[in-house]
Amino acid sequence: MKRIILLVLVTMFLFVGCTNTAVLSANTSSAKATTPPKQTSATSNAVTLPEEHYFLKDQKDVIAKEKYSEDMTKGLESDEMYLYYKTDFELKNEKATVELYIDSEVEEDGTLFYQDSHFWSLLVRQGDYVYPLISKKRIYIGQIKYALLTGDNNQAIYIVVFIQENAGMEISEYQFDNQEERFKRKFIYTPVNADTGYYSKGDIPYIPKY
């Protein structure tokens, strides 16, 4: 009798064990099927940053030509934004200028009344029209600088923008599309985990002579 009871218990144990193994195998297969594939080398190299790391997230990526209005260079804290720097060049064989503005008053000795934060604007002007690359962007304890690069008889136009703000910085590139007649912005670089910044001496509050 004991042998019969023992045989029945062993048979039940083996049956339950096989059933659990089958369920576990099915669950494992289901988990494998629903697990997203790992990034390939093509996608893992892409740089994706949270929006808070982009200084220009509130600015346009594609900038079309607009009719100039005085509001574009009207100050938010002063009567009118100050033309801090400009560069002459040719855009589609016509005269144009890159113009960098800062919303700041000018002292009697010719220096800027520089505070903890200012609004900056960067535009390309051609006749009565402008390309507003950056429109009244507030920068804290920092500044905006640009470099104009041309090539192929002034047909290739690049404007590289460097933004320094407190501990952060950002580099973007604006390229002119000759076919669409627009500037297109491309993000280049920003440090993600920096909390302290040390920069070489700039020219603020000195007003450069151009």
Do 168 and 197 touch, CB atoms closer than 8 A?
yes
- Specify whether 17 is located in the same domain as 87: no
- Specify whether 72 is located in the same domain as 132: yes
Tokens read off for 154? 């002034």
- Specify whether 76 is located in the same domain as 167: yes
Number of domains in the chain: 2
Q: Is residue 42 part of a domain?
A: no
- Specify whether 172 is located in the same domain as 83: yes
Q: Is residue 135 part of a domain?
A: yes
- Specify whether 155 is located in the same domain as 66: yes
Q: Is residue 197 part of a domain?
A: no
The confidence score (pLDDT) of residue 51 equals 54
Tokens read off for 178? 């000759």
- Specify whether 3 is located in the same domain as 107: no
Q: The domain containing residue 81 runs over which residues?
A: 52-189
Q: Would you call the peptide bond into 205 cis, given omega within 30 degrees of 0 as the criterion?
A: yes
Q: Tell me whether residue 2 is exposed, middle or buried, using C-beta atoms within 10 angstroms of its C-beta: 0 to 12, 13 to 18, 19 or more.
A: exposed
- Specify whether 158 is located in the same domain as 123: yes
Per-residue pLDDT of the chain (210 residues; tens, 9 = 90+): 444 443 433 344 334 444 443 333 334 333 333 333 333 333 333 445 555 557 888 899 999 999 999 999 988 877 889 999 999 999 988 999 999 999 988 777 777 787 888 999 999 999 999 999 999 999 988 889 999 998 877 678 999 999 988 778 899 999 999 999 999 999 998 887 777 777 776 554 444 443
The confidence score (pLDDT) of residue 101 equals 95
Q: Is residue 198 part of a domain?
A: no
The confidence score (pLDDT) of residue 52 equals 52
- Specify whether 67 is located in the same domain as 125: yes
The confidence score (pLDDT) of residue 29 equals 38
- Specify whether 60 is located in the same domain as 130: yes
Residue 157 CB neighbours (<10 A)? 23
Q: Is residue 41 part of a domain?
A: no
What residues pair up with 96 in beta bridges, in sequence order?
Answer: 89
Residue 199, classed as helix, strand or coil, is coil
Distance CA 171, CA 149 (A): 15
- Specify whether 59 is located in the same domain as 156: yes
The confidence score (pLDDT) of residue 69 equals 92
Distances (CA, A) of 67 to 37, 136, 176, 183: 49, 17, 18, 15
Q: Is residue 203 part of a domain?
A: no
The confidence score (pLDDT) of residue 202 equals 59
- Specify whether 94 is located in the same domain as 7: no
> What angle is formed at CA 172 by the lines to CA 143 and CA 192, rounded to 5 degrees?
80
- Specify whether 131 is located in the same domain as 89: yes
Residue 142, classed as helix, strand or coil, is strand
Q: Is residue 116 part of a domain?
A: yes
Phi, psi of 53 (to 5 degrees): -90, -5
Q: Is residue 36 part of a domain?
A: no
